[in-house]
Structure 1
Amino acid sequence: MPKVIIAALVGFFIGITASVFAADASDVQTFFASNKVGNSPDFAFVKNGVAGPDHLITIHGYRNDGAVCRTLAEEYNSGESSSVLPGEYKCVQLNE
């Protein structure tokens, strides 16, 4: 009986955890399109590489998310030593 209860609890927690994480970048973009965090618009930090655009991180909760993202993009675009794979980094606004 204890094994059944433990198995049920483990399954429950795995189910909850799986539903919290986004399946892909479009899920993240859909969420942020209608949910702004903080006072400024939220931004996606995106790398345009050989395989196409790749949503790396979401910047939210800062006083000026756009400025933080642009600073990060400038740093990564400043030289090839900042990244292992070639590509251009940019910021994409996710909401108003």
Structure 2
Amino acid sequence: MLICAAVVLTGCTRVTVTTGSSISNEDLEAFFHKHKVDGNYAAALKKSAAGVASYLATIHGYRDNMAVCKSLIEPYNKDPSLSAISGTYYCQELR
């Protein structure tokens, strides 16, 4: 799995898993804006709380990444008590 992550991240400003380096949310989004995974656009799972958007996860590797993302956030938006910090979860297709 780490090898796969290293291959995917190689296109992101020379970041590799083995160096322990980090990339910003913006760099990660920029990478997925430029690259499809198996012919499909990735989806960013984000949360808006107190006027600030947080990048929580990237969904990729599915035939319909947006549908998977929406199914993941649905319970949290329906029942806010499931989340430790109140806010609204949403998905953004990275194209």
TM (norm. structure 2) is 0.75
State whether structure 2 residue 60 is matched by structure 1 residue 57. no
Higher relative contact order (CA 8 A, sep 6+): 1
- What's the CA shift for 1:72? 1.1
Give CA-to-partner distance per residue, 1:7-64, whole Å, 9 cap, x none: xxxxxxx98331xx31x21011111011111232210000001150000000000111
Structure 1 76/38 Cα, relative in aligned 2: closer, same or farther at 3 Å? Answer: farther
Tell which structure's C-alpha radius of gyration is larger: 1
> Percent of pairs identical after alignment?
34
**Over aligned residues, Cα RMSD in angstroms?**
2.1
SS of equivalent residue, structure 1 residue 93: strand
Give the ranges of 4+ consecutive aligned residues of structure 1 lying more than 2 Å apart after TM superposition: 14-17
CA contact (8 A) 2:35 2:41 kept: no
Task: Name whichever structure is richer in helix by fraction.
Answer: 1
Gaps of 5+ in 2: 1-16
